[in-house]
Amino acid sequence: MRKLLLMMAVAACGPKPAPAPIPMLPGDGDAHVAKPAPVKPPAAGDAWTGRNDLIAAPVPQPPAAVELPKIEEFKLSNGLQVYVVKRDRLPVVAMQLAVRAGRMHEPRARLGVAELTADMLVKGTKKHDAAALARTIDFVGGTIAADSTFEATLVSCSVLARNANTCFELVPEMITQPTFPDAELAKLRDGLASTMRQRLDDAGTLASAHAQNLLWGNEHMRGWINSEQSIGSIKREDLVAWHRAWFVPGNAMLAVTGDVDPRKLKADLERTFGAWRKGPIPPAPTYPEQGLSGSRIRLVDKPGQAQTHIRVAQYGIRHDDPRFFDTLVWNYTLGGAGGRLARALRGDGKAYATSSFDRNVDRGSFVASTAARNSEAVAAAKGMLGEIARLAKDGPTKDEVDAAVASITGGYGLRFQSAADVGAALIGAELHGFGREYLTNFAVAAGQVAVADAKKAASEILDPKAFVMVMVGDAKDLEPLLIKEGWRFEKVASTDPITAPVRQPEVPADAKAVAAARKLIDDALAAKGGKAKLAGLKAFRMTATGMTTIQGQSVPVEIARVFVLPDKMRIDATLKPPRAPRDVVVSIAVSGETGWQRGPDPKTNDYAVAEITGSGLASANFERWREPELILLKAADPAAKLSPGPDETIDGKAYAVVRLRSPFAEVDVTLYIDKKTKLIGRMSYSDGGSTETDDFADYRDVGGLKFAHKRNSTGAGRSTALELKAVEVDPKVDPAVFAKPAAP
């Protein structure tokens, strides 16, 4: 194959080493997540049928222990645990620092904070901004990375030995003095939100996520699934709080491997990590398991999905379970390359059929996975359950155990090649409370699994009667099959949030408080220009210019908005991407109960006009209802459901808070009214996960009414900053502007 490359490489800065690994235990990632391989049954009458002189694969000898070089251990005076491995065959030094702060520690209202914080560590410190960090590590041809996993945040740095000081300088800086700059955070958050959106569009990923939620429930951290919305709502102060709470030296460990002098190293590390002050270590949150009895099936409807992705999940084991190695073996038998699932389900060689189990300190899940055409989905699910039951009853054969051990232990040595690998393996073991013996004896322990042990473990851990099942496919095809089978199931839409949104507690309607809220609305109306004046408004038109950030790219935009009361609204957004030949114009209009939109087809760039119906129309109607210039009239309506909230301070200003219930599916709009000026400073709403925030400033009088001339909106991975250029009160508006255009 031609190295595709070259011109791709033209954009790279020279040969790059492989990215430093996230703490993995040897065998992580591949050994227990069995990978599919094409298993072709021998065709009758081919060149090799009936031959007895074919080359046979060798019978592996019992696996031997892995030799590890000497590991020096010491603690710095601030409590940081350090491991040093000298390996000087090559002039390389690698540093791996792990903090016990990962997804499992996240509060429900801040899903994604671990990942965001980790990603932001390379985006700026007190001494180096993002560009300077990149320049510093690029200059020496090294790599630096920060990642988060289920259990930890890992910062890794690899350099030539002569440049070791670069790692010694940058890693402590990133850990102790990150600055989390706003601009970088916005870009990163948008990118991550976008990735979330794409991932949950993938039926396979969706199936796995739903399986976790169904197995663990909405009150257990494993059941909380990261989403575009959850990421989008994380703010800088959340990162700061997370970092301050968890990033303390007593909650971390450091591995330094390669061409180092362990004796000299201690003094160097005391110096470079000395500024990292001790702090209390927060307790890791724990959650009760909801228990599993009987079976539960969730059908996730994805219209148009022709292939159903199926998951069967149940509880797994803790990493320190004495049956751990037995489980590695029976899991490989079930879901490994050429395993029982693959042989039973991959007749046409297309779909995958695998199984895996989590390897964490706390008990995780066991998941069997496959995909099948919709018409075969129930048969495939039954096939999976059948194989699980069979293995639980009979256990693996001797041949199967031998094959499993060969595969699990054969590749084990591959995990100890680079200095960074050794450091990561060490960290991985220590994070789970294992010492070096785990690493050196892993292969030996796997080799000692007897057939009877594997069978006993499978029968204890697998339960063919108590499980959860998820199917992601087209319900049109799947429901009849499930009903025919007599299987009870719950149905959800693929677009529904996977994790139930956190219900805001309903504030009891205290009469005095509601009255105070009403007075506040009256004051706000007065500040706006008066209720009578606002209610007498027949129409208004405004144009604004500014910038909108889409997928991390900032694009100049011009927005024209015209409103003819009571129910005609049209918005035209003109985007001017730099270096594009022409502008992009997106228009949307609603009038009464109908609406249309016009915009370019992303594939062809041709413009198209379409009617808006269904949930699109509901969205447009909601936009119309919450029109910022008119929202106070909605709030002043005697029938309006108001509930006051506690005052809030934003950017140093004090705001009174009023929540207003909208007529749309329990969505609340929250108004933040400046306590001094009584003008609306912010309006936000949340539809159970996604939060959109509009900020208003620079109010100026136009025709007796106050209009905010500066508007910033953030939410759903996008942010827009606008300045009003023109406002017309009661202009003449040609009704034709609201009519659906005939041709694009």
Report the site for other proteins in 255-294 (rule: CB under 8 A).
259
The Cα 595–Cα 621 span in angstroms is: 9
Could you tell me which residues are beta bridge partners of residue 561?
542, 571
Strand pairing report for 594-600 and 584-591: antiparallel
Residue ranges of the alpha helices (H) in 146-261?
Answer: 164-176, 182-201, 203-216, 228-232, 236-246
**Residue 388 CB, nearest approach to other proteins (Å):** 23
Tokens 């301070």, located at residue: 649
Would you count residue 184 as binding other proteins (CB under 8 A)?
no
- Helix (H) or strand (E) holding 272, with range, is helix 262-272
Does 547 interact with other proteins (rule: CB under 8 A)?
no
Residues 220-259, one symbol each (x = binds other proteins by CB under 8 A, - = not), give: ---------------------------------------x
- The count of residues interacting with other proteins (CB under 8 A) is 78
Residues in the chain: 744
Residue 245: CB minimum distance to other proteins, A: 35
Residue range at the interface with other proteins (CB under 8 A); choices 32-40, 285-293, 304-312, 342-350: 32-40
Which range binds other proteins by CB under 8 A, 178-186, 299-307, 402-410, 698-706?
402-410
Q: Is 407 in the site for other proteins (CB under 8 A)?
A: yes
At closest approach, how far in Å is the CB of 312 from other proteins? 24
46 part of the interface to other proteins, by CB under 8 A: yes
Q: Which residues pair with 307 in a beta bridge?
A: 373
**Computed from CA positions of residues 202, 203, 204, 209, in that sequence, does the dihedral angle turn out positive or negative?**
positive
Which amino acid, 523?
Answer: D
Q: Does 398 bind other proteins (CB under 8 A)?
A: no
With respect to other proteins, which residue has the nearer C-beta, 5 or 275? Answer: 5
Q: How many other CB atoms are found less than 10 A from the CB of residue 504?
A: 11
Closer Cβ to other proteins, 21 or 223, answer by number: 21
Any contact of residue 165 with other proteins (CB under 8 A)? Answer: no
Q: Which of 70, 484, 503, 579 binds other proteins (CB under 8 A)?
A: 579
Numbers of helices and strands, H then E, in the chain: 21, 25
* Burial category of 544 from C-beta neighbours within 10 Å (exposed 0-12, middle 13-18, buried 19 and up): buried
DSSP class of residue 61? P
Q: Which is nearer to other proteins, 67 or 506 (CB)?
A: 67
Subset of 53-82 contacting other proteins (CB under 8 A): 53-55, 57-58, 60-61, 64, 66-69
Window contacting other proteins (CB under 8 A); options: 156-164, 465-473, 507-515, 685-693 = 156-164
Q: Looking at beta carbons only, is 66 or 475 nearer to other proteins? A: 66
Assigned token pair, 401: 């155990």
341 φ, ψ (degrees, to nearest 5): -65, -45
Q: Which of 606, 594, 592 is nearest to 740 (CA)?
A: 594
The reply on whether position 349 binds other proteins by CB under 8 A is no
The least CB distance from residue 15 to other proteins, in Å, is: 3
Supply the DSSP string of 507-559, one letter for each residue: PP--HHHHHHHHHHHHHHHHHHT-HHHHHT--EEEEEEEEEEEETTEEEEEEE
Q: Is 616 in the site for other proteins (CB under 8 A)?
A: no
Site for other proteins in 415-434 (CB under 8 A): 416-419
Site for other proteins in 77-116 (CB under 8 A): 87-92
Which of 23, 112, 142, 529 is in the footprint of other proteins by CB under 8 A?
142
- The answer to whether 392 and 342 have CB atoms below 8 angstroms apart is no
Q: For other proteins, give the closer residue by CB, 36 or 217.
A: 36
Contact pick of 75, 126, 127, 135 for other proteins (by CB under 8 A): 135
Smallest distance, other proteins to C-beta of residue 180, A: 23
Enter the DSSP assignment of 62. P
Distance of CA 559 to the CA centre of its chain: 32
Return the CA Rg of the chain.
Answer: 30
Residue 736 binds other proteins (CB under 8 A): no
556 binding other proteins? (CB under 8 A): no
Q: Which stretch binds other proteins (CB under 8 A): 14-22, 309-317, 382-390, 633-641?
A: 14-22
Q: Which is nearer to other proteins, 416 or 438 (CB)?
A: 416
